[in-house]
Amino acid sequence: EAQVTQNPRYLITVTGKKLTVTCSQNMNHEYMSWYRQDPGLGLRQIYYSMNVEVTDKGDVPEGYKVSRKEKRNFPLILESPSPNQTSLYFCASSLARPGTEAFFGQGTRLTVV
């Protein structure tokens, strides 16, 4: 089954404790991205990657890191989480070809206390 898999689905952590949210897709998509969703603000892009070893900042990259060592995986790293990073996070993937839709993971609900 074609899918984007994120883990964990829920995470509560303390300020400053490094964490990683994993994302994996099995559709051989070139393009992967991370979004955060906050009430009234919609989906805002954090980072994206056009292919292996190619990453770039989205609209709200501060406090986040990513890597793309393999085509299927695109982990999101929070080196020192803060309470303002409490949010719902989505990973998405798509073909790089225009005119194709993005597929989303199930989301990770992160709470930083």
Q: Give the contacts of 53 (CB within 8 A, at least 6 positions apart).
A: 68, 69
**Contacts with another protein, 50-89, as mask; x by CB under 8 A:** x---------------------------------------
Tokens read off for 90 = 């989505």
- Distance in angstroms (rounded) separating the CA atoms of residues 97 and 84: 34
Cis peptide before 8 (omega within 30 of 0): yes
Note whether 102 binds another protein by CB under 8 A: yes
The residues in 24-43 that bind another protein, with binding defined as CB under 8 A, are 31, 33, 35, 40-43
Binding site for another protein (CB under 8 A): 4, 31, 33, 35, 40-45, 48, 50, 90, 92, 94-107
